[in-house]
Structure 1
Amino acid sequence: MTDARILRTRAALHKAITELATQKPVGEITVSELAESAGINRVTFYKHYTTPAEALADALHTELKDIVAAAAPAPEIDAFTHCIYTALDHLEERRELYTIAFSDQVDGTIPIMLSRFLTEVAETYLTKRRKRKPAVPDVDLDVAAAFLANGATGAIRVWILEGDMSRERFFENLPLLLPAWFQAEAAAN
């Protein structure tokens, strides 16, 4: 069981870093600024993270995991697409932060975090699909999962930065972009 003080400190850091990252790129946030905003000292910060970018990635990854875990499964779509659909709630809620992060040409923390998160989801889904009919083609699951996740991350980046594409339009496009073998498996669910 994790110490309550550690949980409180992490929560304060997550709140502070997401607020600061809504104002400017994470690469411009200093440890001193983050520690002060979280109500802790620098030494305490370094007991948890090495950089503000690491704290931001952890905060957003945790939020995404919790949101997806709490969402009721949608039987009409595959688990990977459902995860993206559910994650869009989080992305819309934090659109300012993601707009800054996806616009940042120097720091790739958030696109990398999102890609890793979606890769984990895709790997889990594809591993389960291998056990059912129709089977996943004989591809390396880690390669297929990374391909799907990075494509989805790129599409999400466009959706965030263009700002004029509706959620519905995003999901009209998604099935057209997924590989045919993935569609066959989704239809079989």
Structure 2
Amino acid sequence: MTDARILRTRAALHKAITELATQKPVGEITVSELAESAGINRVTFYKHYTTPAEALADALHTELVKVCDEAAPATEIDPFTHCIYTALDHLEARKQLYTIAFNDQVDGTVPMMLSRFLTGVAETYLTKRRKRKPAVPDVDLDVAAAFLATGATGAIRVWILEGDMSRERFFENLPLLLPAWFLAEEQSS
């Protein structure tokens, strides 16, 4: 069990970094500024993270895991697409932060975090799909998952930066971009 003080400190850091990253790119946030905003000292910060970017990636990843885990799976769509759909709530709630992050030409923390998160979701889905019919083609699942996740991250980037927050528009395009075998209706073996 994790110490309550550690949990409180992490929560304060997550709150502070997401608030600061809503105002400016994470590369412009100093450790001193973040520590002060979280109500801790620099030494305590370094017990948890090495950079503000690492703290931001952890905060957003934690929120995405929570959003996707809490949402009831939709039976009509695959878990990868479902997780993207539920993650849009998170993205909408943090629209300003993601807009700043996706516009940042120097720091790629947020897009990399999102891509890694979606890669994990895709790997889990593809591993389960491999046991069902129709079969997943004989592809390296790690490569396929990373490819799908990076593409989805790129699509999310366009969706955020264009300012068209229509889920309908996003999900009209997504099935057209995914491989046919990915969306094939699953049948038990």
TM range (shorter): over 0.9
2:54 maps to which residue? 54
Q: Does 1:8 align with 2:8?
A: yes
CA distance in 2 between counterparts of 1:116 and 1:72 reads 22
Q: Does 1:24 align with 2:24?
A: yes
Output one character per residue of 1:11-35: Cα deviation in whole Å (capped at 9) or x when no partner. 0000000000000000000000000
Counterpart of 1:17, as a letter, is I
Output one character per residue of 1:77-122: Cα deviation in whole Å (capped at 9) or x when no partner. 0000000000000000000000000000000000000000000000
Of the three residues 164, 181, 186, the one matched with 1:188 is 186
2:161 maps to which residue? 161
CA distance in 2 between counterparts of 1:76 and 1:160 reads 25
TM-aligned CA deviation for residue 166 of structure 1: 1.0
Q: Does 1:119 align with 2:122?
A: no
Answer yes or no: is the 8 Å Cα contact 2:132–2:186 preserved in 1. no
2:79 maps to which residue? 79
CA distance in 1 between counterparts of 2:167 and 2:134 reads 29
SS at match of 1:188: coil
Point out 4+ residue stretches in structure 1 off by more than 4 angstroms.
Answer: none
> Can you give the 5+ residue segments of structure 1 that lack an aligned partner in the other structure?
none
CA distance in 2 between counterparts of 1:165 and 1:83 reads 17
Output one character per residue of 1:5-57: Cα deviation in whole Å (capped at 9) or x when no partner. 00000000000000000000000000000000000000000000000000000
CA distance in 2 between counterparts of 1:44 and 1:146 reads 34
SS at match of 1:9: helix
Please list, as runs of the form range in 1=range in 2, the aligned pairs for 1:33-72 lying within 5 A after superposition: 33-72=33-72
CA distance in 1 between counterparts of 2:105 and 2:181 reads 34
SS at match of 2:99: helix
Answer yes or no: is the 8 Å Cα contact 2:61–2:117 preserved in 1. yes
SS at match of 1:134: coil
SS at match of 1:18: helix
Q: Which moved more, 1:164-173 or 1:74-83?
A: 164-173
**Cα RMSD for the two superposed structures:** 0.7
Q: Does 1:90 align with 2:90?
A: yes
Q: Give the percent of matched residue pairs that are identical in Structure 1 and Structure 2.
A: 89
Counterpart of 1:166, as a letter, is S
CA distance in 1 between counterparts of 2:186 and 2:3 reads 45
Answer yes or no: is the 8 Å Cα contact 2:129–2:186 preserved in 1. no
SS at match of 1:119: helix
Count of residues paired in the alignment = 187
SS at match of 2:106: coil
TM-aligned CA deviation for residue 183 of structure 1: 2.0
The 1:10–1:165 alpha-carbon spacing in structure 2 relative to 1, beyond 3 Å, is closer
